[in-house]
Amino acid sequence: MASSSDASSSAGSNPEQPGSANASEGAGTAGSTNVSEFFEGAGKGTERRGRVRGRRAAMMAVPATMVAATLAVLTAEGALGVQFAISGMPFVVTATEMNGTGFEQFGGLDHMIENSPNEGDTGGQVLVITTAIKNATITKLCQSVDLGGVNLLIKAGGNGTPVSATDLTLDGTEQSGDASFTNIEIGNDASTLSKAGVKGPAGVFSQQADTIRIANLRSTNYATTAAVFKLPGLKLSFSDSGC
């Protein structure tokens, strides 16, 4: 994440599918869902169209004017969604536990610079899931990026004081762990979200909840932002292996 309580692994967690009876109960109830399955479901849709076709379809569905308008809305509302050109190099984030209040998730599109050496067959655009959390704590954070045979490692929050972040957003393509939510809403229009202060594009599928907890978190991200990001016990190093 250098992308935002104390850890206690969830015992016997059996996350349920989004849209299950538990997930759709009224206020005051706790739903749970497997975050990896949420991302996997989105990934299968693009796989059916093919990688390049999926990205081109996303480009057509979200024209440049809409992307610009969306960024303007995020800026106006004080949200720190990704507003910069991504490098196109994915990085891995792991943690023994992440807890948050004010949780949102929706689809988005990140952009590289023109003719980026990392664009490959993407056309310089990456279809991502944006996760927004108003306040988050992360225990035993590890972030690694492959620089071509050597990994840059960033570790923090492993000495009893967790990493903390406010207005945290993560743009990623994969995420897994044992997740639980309270007062979850699945299937919202992304433009109507209210839990984390971020609104996505109109007509885009999304979900939100009052709280989130993910044990044994592992995610692949392309961008992370936060209004405040505190990393106690920060250590940067190079390693032959990643997180």
pLDDT in tens, the chain (243 residues): 444 444 343 444 444 444 444 433 443 444 444 444 444 444 444 444 444 444 444 444 444 444 444 444 443 343 435 678 999 999 999 999 999 999 999 999 999 999 999 999 999 999 999 999 999 999 999 999 999 989 999 999 999 999 999 999 999 999 999 999 999 999 999 999 999 999 999 999 999 999 999 999 999 999 999 999 999 999 999 999 999
The first and second tokens of residue 100, run together, are 């948050």
**Calpha distance 124→113 (Å, rounded):** 7
Contact at 8 Å (CB) between 92 and 137?
no
Spatial CA neighbour of 130 closest among 161, 108, 99: 108
Q: Phi/psi of residue 130, each to 5°?
A: -90, 125
Contact at 8 Å (CB) between 108 and 205?
no
CA distances from 17 to 23, 167, 230 (A): 8, 27, 33
**Calpha distance 137→243 (Å, rounded):** 19
